[in-house]
Amino acid sequence: MTDPSRIRNFSIIAHIDHGKSTLADRLLERTGAITAREMRDQVLDTMDIERERGITIKANAVRIEFVAADGHTYQLNLIDTPGHVDFSYEVSRSLEACEGALLLVDASQGIEAQTLANAYLAIENGLEIIPVLNKIDLPAAEPERVSREMVGVLGGTVDDVIQVSAKTGDGVGELLQAIVDRLPVPHGDRNAPFRAMVFDSYYDTYRGVVSYIRVVDGRVKVHEPVEFMRTGHRVEADDLGIMTPSQVSRKTLAAGDVGYLVTGTKEIEQIRVGDTVTSSVNPASEPLPGYEEPKPMVFSGLFPTDGDDFERLREALDKLRLNDSSLQYVAETSRALGFGFRVGFLGLLHMEIVRERLEREYDLDLVATAPSVEYRAGLTDGTIVEVRSPQDLPPTGKLAYIEEPFVKVMIITPKEFVGVVMELVQQRRGEMGDMTYLTEDRVEIHYTVPLSEIVFDFFDQLKSATRGYASLDYEPNEYRKSDLVRVDILLNNVSVDAFSSIVHRDRAYRYGKAMSERLRKLIPRQLFDVPIQAAIGSRIIARETIKARRKDVTAKCYGGDITRKKKLLAKQKEGKKKMKMVGQVEVPPEAFVAALRIDE
């Protein structure tokens, strides 16, 4: 067992793409945790989606061993975290399992919005931060300027900043030594009753729920009885060990250690991320403070294309939630789409990833409805209703007012783009707060903006308006009254709940028109003319018609073509199976998120 004085626990945090996972590669490589043969780029990004998109989605913990200048071997538990704002909950949980953080900044980009957001998170958690300047090998690197920016935010001196290249490995030795020298020794009492924090988990078909834990006090041995304090679930520790990154069994985990714990638990609800595991023989008196549940930013309906898959979808969500504790969902019914779930997400990328994981990992075919933020409706009788889906909006007669969520937005941009940024946020009903200069040519601007205005396509627009130089972070603020209306869409004269949307009154007309046009293009021609109308209450504000299908036949089909034609039709049939019947109209799944891509 390693003496706590020879253990260091830290997370690697940064803005997206600043090189966290690549730095983790070098740390693993340098300490021999991984052989040259096993090495590949961003080796900790193991999920298919992570590799395809080149981003980290899940935090990953690994133990490495480093022989420091004093000749002793140190146990380093590192956690590589995601940089995208939608996954900041992964970062905050990771930080709670650590005493230190490496704050990485790309030397060619400088400090960006999530650099600051993550730095503040680490500071709030009382972590020791080592500023690390990465990508110094790049010709565009500006180490002096960016080091000054970092000192400006974190204090200290330019000499505290460690310069590395995660690509070439330059400076990585120095960084490892700094981790040993500068990060605190884990606190915690090895003689106290066993207490560990469950900071992540996943479901394994054979072993049941696997928990990732950070041991805070005491120790746990394999086959010892343990208890999950909040659920009261008592089981035996079947297996425990460390991640190197592959799981390696150990007999004991002790205070300061980060590892995994298998209890053979198949009842998913018994184990929750944020719970405390203790010994059931000699239990701790108090659980550790749990995690604050993250607040979903957007809600969308998820429905199985095949109505029979509803139960499978529920199971999949339950299992996925083990591995993504930010996921929140309740069952809902739609007249158009049947039984499904209203799911809360931390942002659009999160929504996309969850849907993709459900489809891939659980072999489901899903229809997603257009995402919506959570509104609040004040009724004439004084009650307040939460509106997570446009269908939940009470009828106009009962409505006194509608409130929408606002967020505090931080934008970091080069000085020359301040004008365009201001204009862009203005169009989004944003209210400017203060503006500070990070350095003489980089500015940090604060705004208060309706969440609905920034959560969908704002980031793309900001990026293109500033040639990719501006970055953005936001956090929930307050609810405010707004002049909002629900725009309904009638397909073949019947209102389709899944197409309704709540929008600002000034935009309702343009929105209704754009949405009807888009649907006309997305919905294939049917056996009869299909009118599409956009309406506010009973007032029609836009109208389009999908002309009846006139020709749907292959010209030739002779002896030679029979097999080929059958295959062709069979392929088209698969597309047809994905269609949702809405009344008498066949609607492709893409149509339900059409509202997302309306470029105004």
Ligand X SMILES: Nc1nc2c(ncn2[C@@H]2O[C@H](COP(=O)(O)OP(=O)(O)OP(=O)(O)O)[C@@H](O)[C@H]2O)c(=O)[nH]1
> Among the candidate windows 10-18, 219-227, 256-264, 582-590, which touches ligand X by CB under 6 A?
10-18
For residues 101 and 183, the answer to whether their CB atoms sit within 8 Å is no
166 contact, one of another protein, ligand X, Mg ion, none, CB 5-8 Å limit per kind: ligand X
Cα–Cα distance for residue pair 176/23, rounded to 1 Å: 11
Question: Is 308 a residue that touches another protein (CB under 8 A)?
Answer: no
Is 22 an interacting residue with respect to ligand X (CB under 6 A)?
yes
**Smallest gap from residue 24 Cβ to Mg ion (A):** 8
Q: Is 177 helix (H, G, I), strand (E, B) or coil?
A: helix
Report in angstroms how near the CB of residue 340 gets to another protein at its nearest: 20
Q: What are the Cα distances from residue 395, in Å, to 280, 339, 389, 398, 399?
A: 53, 23, 14, 6, 7
Residue with Cβ nearer Mg ion (88 or 501): 88
58 touches ligand X (CB under 6 A): no
- Of 42 and 211, nearer to ligand X (C-beta) is 42
For strand 442-450 and strand 162-163, is the pairing parallel, antiparallel, or unpaired? unpaired
Number of residues engaging ligand X in binding (CB under 6 A): 20
Q: What residues pair up with 344 in beta bridges, in sequence order?
A: 299, 328
Of these, 30, 148, 167, 463, which contacts ligand X (CB under 6 A)?
Answer: 167
* Closer to another protein by Cβ: residue 415 or 577: 577
Residues 6 or more apart whose Cβ sits within 8 Å of residue 344: 296, 297, 298, 299, 327, 328, 329, 388
Confirm if 33 and 64 have CB atoms less than 8 A apart.
yes
Q: Does 56 bind Mg ion (CB under 5 A)?
A: yes
Q: Which residue has the tokens 């940024």?
A: 421
| Residue nearer to ligand X on the CB measure, 138 or 420 | 138
Token couple for 437: 């200069």
Q: Judged by CB under 8 A, does residue 73 bind another protein? A: no
Q: Distance (Å, rounded) from C-alpha 392 to C-alpha 474?
A: 26
Nearer to ligand X, 82 or 390 (CB): 82
Give the integer Cα–Cα distance in Å for 507 and 408. 23
Within 10 A of 574 (CB to CB), how many other CB atoms are there? 8
Which residues between 509 and 528 bind another protein (CB under 8 A)? 525, 527-528
Q: Binding another protein by CB under 8 A: which of 232, 539, 553, 600?
A: 553
Which tokens hold the place of 9?
A: 């626990």
- Residues numbered 62 to 101 that lie near ligand X (CB under 6 A) are 82-83
DSSP, residue by residue, 470-503: -EEEEEEEEEEEE-EEEEEEEETTEE-GGG-EEE
533 contributes a contact to Mg ion by CB under 5 A: no
Is residue 75 involved in binding Mg ion (CB under 5 A)? no
The verdict on 118 binding Mg ion (CB under 5 A) reads: no
Residue 590, binding choice from another protein, ligand X, Mg ion, none, Cβ under 5 to 8 Å by partner class = none
Q: How far apart are CA 92 and CA 273, in angstroms?
A: 13
By CB under 5 A, the count of residues binding Mg ion is: 3
Query: What's the Cα-to-Cα distance from 9 to each of 15, 16, 23, 100, rounded to whole Å?
Result: 20, 22, 16, 6
Q: Which one among 139, 191, 573, 599 touches another protein, defined by CB under 8 A?
A: 573
3-state secondary structure 97-136: CCCEEEEEEECCCCCCHHHHHHHHHHHHCCCEEEEEEECC
Span 147-166, contacts to ligand X by CB under 6 A: 165-166
Using CB under 6 A, pick the residue from 10, 19, 348, 454 that binds ligand X: 19
By CB under 5 A, residue 21 contacts Mg ion: yes
**Smallest distance, another protein to C-beta of residue 552, A:** 5
* Inter-residue contact 390 to 501 (CB < 8 Å): yes
For another protein, the binding residue among 159, 555, 599, 600 (CB under 8 A) is: 555
Q: How far is the CB of 58 from ligand X (least distance, A)?
A: 10
Residue 56: closest CA among 24, 81, 85? 81
For residue 284, the 8-state DSSP code is: -
Among Mg ion, ligand X, another protein, none, what does residue 569 contact (CB within 5–8 Å per kind)?
another protein
Q: How far is the CB of 28 from Mg ion (least distance, A)?
A: 13
Q: Counting contacts by CB under 6 A, is residue 347 touching ligand X?
A: no
- State the binding partner of 555 from Mg ion, ligand X, another protein, none, CB within 5 to 8 A by kind: another protein
Place of tokens 């009724």: 379
First-to-final CA distance of the chain: 62
Positions in 539-558 near Mg ion (CB under 5 A): none
576 binds, among another protein, Mg ion, ligand X, none (CB under 5 to 8 A by kind): another protein
DSSP secondary structure of 189-235: -TTSPPEEEEEEEEEETTTEEEEEEEEEESEEETT-EEEETTTTEEE
Query: Cβ of residue 49: shortest distance to ligand X, in angstroms?
Result: 12
> Judged by CB under 6 A, does residue 514 bind ligand X?
no
Q: Is 138 in the site for ligand X (CB under 6 A)?
A: yes
Check binding of 55 to ligand X (CB under 6 A): yes
Which parts of this chain interact with another protein (CB under 8 A)?
A: 525, 527-528, 547, 549-563, 566, 569-570, 572-573, 576-577, 581, 584
Binding site for ligand X (CB under 6 A): 14, 16-22, 42, 55-56, 82-83, 134-135, 137-138, 165-167
